[in-house]
Amino acid sequence: MIPDETVERVRESADIVAVIGEYVELKRQGTDYRGPCPFHQGTHRNFSVSPKKAMYYCFVCHEGGDVFNFLTKRLGVDWPTAVKMVAEKSGIEVVETQSRRAEQKDERDPLWEINGVAAEYFRRMLWDDDLGRDARAYLEERGVSRQLAERIGLGFAPREIGLMRGYLTTLGFDEARMIAAGLVVAPDEGAEPRPRFRGRLMFPIYDVSNRIVGFGGRLLGPGEPKYLNSAESAIFSKGRLLYGLNWAKQAARRDERMLVVEGYFDVLRLIDAGVESVVAPMGTALTEEQAKLIRRYTDRVFLLYDSDKAGLKATFRSGDELLRQGAAVQVVTLPEGEDPDTFVRTHGARGLETQLASSIDVFERKIQILERGGWFADLRRKRQALDRLLPTLRATTDPLTRDLYLGHASAAAGVSREMLERELALAPRTRSVRPERAPAASGPERDAREQRGQPVPPPDVRRVRRGDRRRLSGERALGAERELVRVLLHRPSYFEQVVERVGADDFRDPELGRIFATMVALGADSGPEALAERLDQESVEVMQELLDEPGGLDHADETVSGSLALLHERQLAERMSEIDRELPLANSEEKDQLTREKMNLTAELRRLGGRSWKQFR
382/158: higher pLDDT: 158
The pLDDT, as a whole number, for residue 614 is: 40
CB under 8 A, 24+ apart: contacts of 193-199: 193/165, 194/161, 195/157, 195/161, 195/164, 195/165, 196/228, 196/230, 196/231, 197/157, 197/228, 198/157, 198/158, 198/159, 198/161, 199/157, 199/158, 199/159
For residue 218, the SS3 value is: strand
**What distance in Å separates the CA atoms of residue 41 and residue 400, rounded to the nearest whole number?**
49
Give the containing element (helix H, strand E) for 409.
helix 399-413
Please tell me the least confidently modeled range out of 25-39, 53-67, 101-115. 101-115
At position 391, the amino acid (one-letter code) is P
The pLDDT, as a whole number, for residue 457 is: 46
Q: Which of 326, 235, 243, 244 is nearest to 288 (CA)?
A: 326
CATH for the stretch 4-90 = 3.90.580.10
Backbone angles phi, psi at 382, to 5 degrees: -65, -40
Average pLDDT over residues 395-422: 93
- Output DSSP code: residue 48: E
Task: Tell me, yes or no, if the pTM score tops 0.85.
Answer: no
- Per-residue pLDDT tens digits for 413-471: 999 999 899 888 876 654 444 433 333 333 444 444 444 444 444 434 333 343 444 44
Q: Which residues contact 525 (CB under 8 A, 6 or more apart)?
A: 492
CATH architecture of the domain with range 240-358: 3-Layer(aba) Sandwich (3.40)
The crossing angle, in degrees rounded to 10, of helices 309-324 and 362-372 is 140
Q: What is the mean pLDDT of the chain?
A: 84
Peptide bond into 225 cis (omega under 30): yes
At position 235, the amino acid (one-letter code) is I
**What distance in Å separates the CA atoms of residue 325 and residue 577, rounded to the nearest whole number?**
32
Beta bridge partners of 303: 260, 331
Average pLDDT over residues 564-584: 82
The pLDDT, as a whole number, for residue 504 is: 82
Q: Which of 409, 423, 422, 351 is nearest to 376 (CA)?
A: 409
CA distances from 487 to 3, 8, 538, 556 (A): 50, 51, 19, 7
Q: How many helices (H) and strands (E) does the chain have?
A: 26, 16
List, as one string, the DSSP characters of 229-294. Answer: EPPP-SS--GGG--BTHHHHHHHHHHHT-EEEESSHHHHHHHHHTT---EEB-SSSSPPHHHHHHH
Start-to-end CA distance of the chain, whole Å, equals 63
595/195: higher pLDDT: 195
- Per-residue pLDDT tens digits for 369-394: 999 999 998 887 888 899 899 999 99
The pLDDT, as a whole number, for residue 557 is: 85
CATH architecture of the domain with range 109-236: Alpha-Beta Complex (3.90)
CATH architecture of the domain with range 443-616: Orthogonal Bundle (1.10)
At position 591, the amino acid (one-letter code) is K
477/235: higher pLDDT: 235
For residue 52, the SS3 value is: coil
Q: Are 118 and 84 in contact (CB under 8 A)?
A: no
pLDDT at residue 213 above 60? Answer: yes
**What distance in Å separates the CA atoms of residue 321 and residue 595, rounded to the nearest whole number?**
37
Angle at 67 between CA 65 and CA 68, to 5 degrees: 90
